[in-house]
């Protein structure tokens, strides 16, 4: 019942009526003060009563004009007080002008004018201030944990507002921190900005903070890593809002979640020209090989957001194909989707799929990519990654496919393992076909993607879940990282931009030390590295590098005019030489001569040097 009455009090009509009631109180109060708190004599009392309706009407109109009812009492602040003062002063000026015009202010003491203004400001602002103080006090009586908000921007303001709206909120905001020096000392909905982020540990102790809420959805990965490292020193739980690209409408307080490793390594948003991509994809048939894998499935989901003619998902794994088809049909019920079970090394299946569906663009994401596993299985790696790429590329040329986009890896640059060498060979295959027919061939090369099958992130998660140890190859080994959605968005951008023959390289930012990644994942799980969960350094495995590269020394890196998308000027590739080597490799694969396959790979990719060998 009390809550219902309070909700009613907040309505603009009731507040307007309250303010109109304050006008006669201030009007007669000014007369009462003028005559020393004694009875108002005639004719002054009669004149005051005579002009009261006019005063109320004028002041009410001025209140509306000055927007006194745009805000609500709970968040009354200094701008509201200034608005009240301006409305009161403007009202009395207008009242004096009208009364002077009508009766030359006869029997209206001049001292009543400033007294009325002061009293009206007091009578209008005091109830608002008291109500805000009462509501702010109620925040401290909330059952929620005392929370420190990191980030006093729009997201922080909205988060605090959401938390204050409900007495049942899990958190009670106590203070802000923000690195912007201009915001220090500000109060946002009654919550003060106490200083920069480096004050978090001292404020936690001083203000008896129980949780930290990071409200910085536009923060880059480097900034997030710094903030998380500060938060970790407090030993308190901390939550974050999702990144800008993952934000949904609704209450921000409901979107709070644990900080994930993706927040620390892949938060910088990619801003793509949706209109340009729509013009490139709309109405076309798009085919994705390896469409059930980590990259391929995300690429299908990103592509399906546009108005395609149809989407063909080509995948050798029955379960992966079933899973991505189910997800696509659920998320995009209007999309024409064709799930094709097949192997990229099967020329008959590939040609059949292209003949039936006539794709305008093929994204070739099918590949084996697990470095240690492939190191001893060179025949399977070469057959799938190299011969499979040739099979699809050859069919694309024969059937007049408009564009072929190869998904490559940084491990193809100066490769030291079988997987990297086969991907470099696949790049050469694609480059050799470009210009031979109408099909445009484009390569997109990038580093590790977070959470992909076979990557260290899911491995570390499983090891932490099992109590450790977390195994890292070397204390100083580094890798480039990018989120799968970001990589797929840039793949589409490269495809829309390319004219044929280009090798696009995605700007992966700064390389991340894998030891740091392991430490952060342990901390984010609520454990302490080296104490609760051990980190074990096992040494570099065969074929592994200490540091990956994104482009060859002979490739001239050029900007493209698009953020995070660079162009590596591809070196000349002799079509006949590549074709001869690939034919020999194909024959060696079909006779299962692994040593011959390895030799052909070394001939085709002369920069291939396995770790610890002279080959």
Return the closest-CA partner of residue 188 out of 199, 203, 179, 178. 178
Question: Which stretches of 388-518 are assigned E, i.e. beta strand?
Answer: 403-409, 440-446, 448-450, 470-472, 478-479, 481-483, 503-506, 512-513
- β-strand pairing of 310-315 with 403-409: unpaired
Give the contacts of 611 (CB within 8 A, at least 6 positions apart): 416, 417, 540, 542, 543, 544, 545
The pLDDT-based confidence of 377 (bands split at 50, 70, 90) is: very high
Structure tokens at 310: 């149809």
Q: Inform me whether the pLDDT recorded for 63 exceeds 90.
A: no
Q: Inform me whether the pLDDT recorded for 318 exceeds 90.
A: yes
> For 322-346, what is the mean pLDDT?
93
Structure tokens at 277: 């991509």
The secondary element (H helix, E strand) that includes residue 556 is strand 556-562
Model-wide pTM > 0.75: no
Give the contacts of 195 (CB within 8 A, at least 6 positions apart): 177, 184, 203
Asked if residue 96 lies in contact with residue 14, where contact means CB atoms within 8 angstroms, the answer is: no
Q: Alpha carbon of 249 to those of 169, 321, 456: distances in Å?
A: 19, 32, 33
The secondary element (H helix, E strand) that includes residue 518 is helix 514-524
Task: Quote the Cα angle for 449-452-457, to 5°.
Answer: 80
Terminal alpha carbon distance of the chain: 84
> For 72-93, what is the mean pLDDT?
72
Helices (H) and strands (E) in the chain, counts: 23, 22
Per-residue pLDDT tens over the stretch 174-203:
889 998 888 888 878 778 888 899 889 989
Q: Domains of the chain, with CATH numbers?
A: 2-137 (no CATH), 142-265 (3.40.50.720), 274-448+481-508+550-604 (3.40.50.720)
Per-residue pLDDT tens over the stretch 486-501:
778 888 888 888 888 8
């Amino acid at each position: 019942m009390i809550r219902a009455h309070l909700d009613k009090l907040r309505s603009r009509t009731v507040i307007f009526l309250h303010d109109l009631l304050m006008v006669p109180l201030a009007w007669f109060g000014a007369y009462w003060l003028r005559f020393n708190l004694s009875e108002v004599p005639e004719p002054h009392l009669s004149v005051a009563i005579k002009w009261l309706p006019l005063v109320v009407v004028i002041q009410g109109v001025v209140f509306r004009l000055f927007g006194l009812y745009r805000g609500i009492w709970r968040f009354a602040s200094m701008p509201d007080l200034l608005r009240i003062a301006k409305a009161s002063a403007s009202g009395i000026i207008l009242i004096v002008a009208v009364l002077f015009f009508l009766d030359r202010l006869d029997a209206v003491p001049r001292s009543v004018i400033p007294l009325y203004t002061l009293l009206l400001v007091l009578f209008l602002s005091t109830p608002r201030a008291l109500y805000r103080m009462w509501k702010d006090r109620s925040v401290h009586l909330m059952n929620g944990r005392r929370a420190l908000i990191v980030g006093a921007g729009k997201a922080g303001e909205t988060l605090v507002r959401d938390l204050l709206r409900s007495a049942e909120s899990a958190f009670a905001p106590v203070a802000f921190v923000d690195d912007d020096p201009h915001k220090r000392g500000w109060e946002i909905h009654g919550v003060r900005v106490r200083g920069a982020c480096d004050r978090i540990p001292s404020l936690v102790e001083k203000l008896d903070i129980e949780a930290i809420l990071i409200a910085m959805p536009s923060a880059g990965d480097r900034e997030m890593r710094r903030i998380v490292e500060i938060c970790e020193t407090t030993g308190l739980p901390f939550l974050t809002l999702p990144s800008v690209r993952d934000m949904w409408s609704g209450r921000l307080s409901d979107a709070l979640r644990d900080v994930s490793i993706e927040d620390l390594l892949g938060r910088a948003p990619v801003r793509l020209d949706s209109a340009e991509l729509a013009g490139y994809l709309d109405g076309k048939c798009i085919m994705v090989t390896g469409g059930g894998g980590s990259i391929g499935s995300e690429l299908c989901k990103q592509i399906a957001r546009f108005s395609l003619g149809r989407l063909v998902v080509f995948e050798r794994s029955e379960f992966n194909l079933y899973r991505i088809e189910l997800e696509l049909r659920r998320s995009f019920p209007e999309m024409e989707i064709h799930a094709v079970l097949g192997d990229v090394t099967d020329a008959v299946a590939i040609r059949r799929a292209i003949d039936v569906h006539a794709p305008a663009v093929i994204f070739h994401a099918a590949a084996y990519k697990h470095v240690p596993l492939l190191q001893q299985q060179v025949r399977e790696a070469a057959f799938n990654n190299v011969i499979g790429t040739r099979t699809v590329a050859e069919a694309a040329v024969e059937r007049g496919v408009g564009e072929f986009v190869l998904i490559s890896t940084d491990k193809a640059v100066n490769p030291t393992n079988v997987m990297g060498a086969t991907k470099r060979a696949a790049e050469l295959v694609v480059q050799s076909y470009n210009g031979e027919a109408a099909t445009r061939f484009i390569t997109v090369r990038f580093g590790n993607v977070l959470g992909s099958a076979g990557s260290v992130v899911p491995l570390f998660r499983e090891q932490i879940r099992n109590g450790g140890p977390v195994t890292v190859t070397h204390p100083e080994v580094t890798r480039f990282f990018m989120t799968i959605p970001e990589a797929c968005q840039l793949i589409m951008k490269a495809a829309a931009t390319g004219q044929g023959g280009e090798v696009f390289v995605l700007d992966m930012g700064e390389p991340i030390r894998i030891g740091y990644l392991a430490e952060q994942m342990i901390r984010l799980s609520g454990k302490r590295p080296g104490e609760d969960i051990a980190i074990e350094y096992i040494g570099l495995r065969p074929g592994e590098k200490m540091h990956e590269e994104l482009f060859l020394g002979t490739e001239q890196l050029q900007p493209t005019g698009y953020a995070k998308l660079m162009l590596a000027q591809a070196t000349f590739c002799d079509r006949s030489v590549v074709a001869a080597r690939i034919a020999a490799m194909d024959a060696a694969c079909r006779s299962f001569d692994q040593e011959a396959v390895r030799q052909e790979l070394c001939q085709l990719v002369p920069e291939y040097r396995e770790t610890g060998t002279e080959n």
